């Protein structure tokens, strides 16, 4: 009898060891994301492949883009992660938010990225670069996605409740300056409007577009302010006398736009159940430039990959060898930050390091509302 009991105890011990081995090999259970889904709207700063299969010059699905990204070149305009990749990680998503171009059905429920390089608030913005999906077009595809989600979830009301818990980030406006207002040879807007008037026109259209987003279920929305476009290697190469001093004409126009965007946040938060926030991309970028050594960045005026003055006269070419010390550069190409800079921007968007980083709250707090 004792022999039988001993054998039974040994078998139970073996099973316990086997279960322990299995659980340790599977690792600890991963926590659920802080929100059920994350939807992204924007331009080349956050595009992750939506332009790959359209007739456009605004594409980045070739090396050296993605040189530090596990999947290689994907359409991201940087060497590795974009700021929204970082935000998705911080929100607890187990993978990156996929581009809408390759996502349908059940996968929509975790969110998708609608961003398109060269896109603007205005329809004509970026037209010299060929195909792109302006913000109005991104909203149109989002409406289609909402209808599909309604079918999956068993009705539009259920979908609306579901979407009200999700995070949305919208970063538009850079191209309306870079590839419109400050390109007078191709666009007439700078002759038609003063910077103040142009900001008003943009904000009026943007505000209406954001109301459309709200009408289709968005309740927790992070609006990314426009960054210091006048400090990009491209603008330094073209317009800066010494190649170091940022172009104040451009930056001052962007500051006017950003100030008005904070006003839009206040207006939209008067809508029922709305929680819009402003992320001060301009200020975060300015801080990285001013305190570059503290961030491990030593090159702030030249691109890691490009041609000519500041490596910014011609942007990164297919198969061009990029710089080796990419973590020390602020810009990967003539216009877009490196992964190193995107990590700082993403982290501070999610969890404000300074009171000026986000208004009235950061994304971390927005997720909990």
Positions marked catalytic: 44, 333, 336
Dihedral (Cα; 143, 147, 149, 153), 10-degree rounding? 150
Q: Yes or no: say if 36 and 166 are a contact pair by the CB < 8 Å rule.
A: yes
Cα(187)–Cα(146) distance, rounded to whole angstroms? 35
Quote the tokens at residue 185.
């040879």
Quote the tokens at residue 54.
């359209």
Cα(279)–Cα(261) distance, rounded to whole angstroms? 10
Q: Yes or no: say if 198 and 181 are a contact pair by the CB < 8 Å rule.
A: yes
Q: Yes or no: say if 316 and 333 are a contact pair by the CB < 8 Å rule.
A: yes
Burial of residue 246 (number of CB atoms within 10 Å: 0-12, 13-18, 19+): buried
Q: Which of 168, 285, 303 is nearest to 222 (CA)?
A: 168
Cα(227)–Cα(287) distance, rounded to whole angstroms? 11
Cα(299)–Cα(330) distance, rounded to whole angstroms? 6
Which residue carries 């490196």 as its tokens?
338
Q: What is the largest CA-CA distance in the chain?
A: 100
Q: HSE of 122 in the Cβ direction (CA atoms, 13 Å)?
A: 22
Q: Which of 359, 322, 363, 360 is nearest to 345 (CA)?
A: 363
Q: Yes or no: say if 194 and 202 are a contact pair by the CB < 8 Å rule.
A: no
């Amino acid at each position: 009898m004792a022999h039988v009991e001993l054998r039974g105890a040994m078998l139970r011990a073996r099973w316990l060891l086997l279960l322990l081995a299995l659980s340790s090999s599977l690792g600890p259970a991963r926590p659920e994301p802080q929100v059920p889904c994350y939807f992204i709207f924007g331009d080349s700063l956050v595009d992750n492949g939506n332009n790959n299969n359209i007739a456009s010059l605004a594409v980045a699905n070739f090396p050296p883009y993605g040189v530090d990204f596990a999947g290689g070149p994907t359409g991201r305009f940087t060497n590795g992660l974009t700021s929204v990749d970082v935000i998705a990680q911080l929100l607890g998503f187990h993978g990156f938010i996929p581009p809408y171009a390759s996502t349908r059905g059940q996968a929509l429920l975790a969110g998708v990225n609608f961003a398109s390089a060269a896109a603007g608030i205005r329809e004509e913005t970026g037209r010299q670069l060929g195909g792109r999906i302006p913000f109005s077009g991104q909203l149109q595809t989002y409406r289609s996605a909402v209808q599909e989600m309604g079918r999956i979830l068993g009705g539009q009301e259920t979908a609306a409740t579901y979407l009200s818990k999700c995070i949305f980030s919208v970063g538009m406006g850079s191209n309306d300056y870079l590839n419109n207002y400050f390109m007078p040879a191709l666009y007439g807007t700078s002759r038609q409007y003063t910077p103040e008037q142009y900001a008003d026109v943009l904000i009026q259209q943007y505000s209406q577009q954001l109301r459309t987003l709200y009408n289709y279920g968005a309740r927790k929305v992070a609006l990314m302010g426009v960054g210091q476009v006048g400090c990009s290697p491209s603008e330094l190469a073209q317009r800066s006398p010494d190649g170091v001093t940022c172009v104040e004409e451009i930056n001052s126009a962007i500051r006017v736009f950003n100030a008005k965007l904070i006003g839009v946040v206040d207006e939209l938060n008067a809508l029922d159940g709305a929680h819009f926030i402003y992320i001060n991309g301009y200020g975060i970028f300015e801080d990285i430039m001013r305190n570059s050594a503290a961030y491990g960045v030593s090159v702030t005026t030249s691109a890691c990959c490009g041609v000519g003055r500041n490596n910014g006269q011609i942007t990164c070419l297919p198969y061009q060898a990029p710089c080796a010390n990419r973590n020390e550069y602020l810009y990967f190409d003539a216009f877009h930050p490196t992964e190193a800079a995107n990590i700082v921007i993403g982290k501070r968007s999610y969890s404000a390091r300074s009171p000026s980083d986000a208004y009235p709250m950061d994304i971390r707090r927005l997720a909990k509302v």
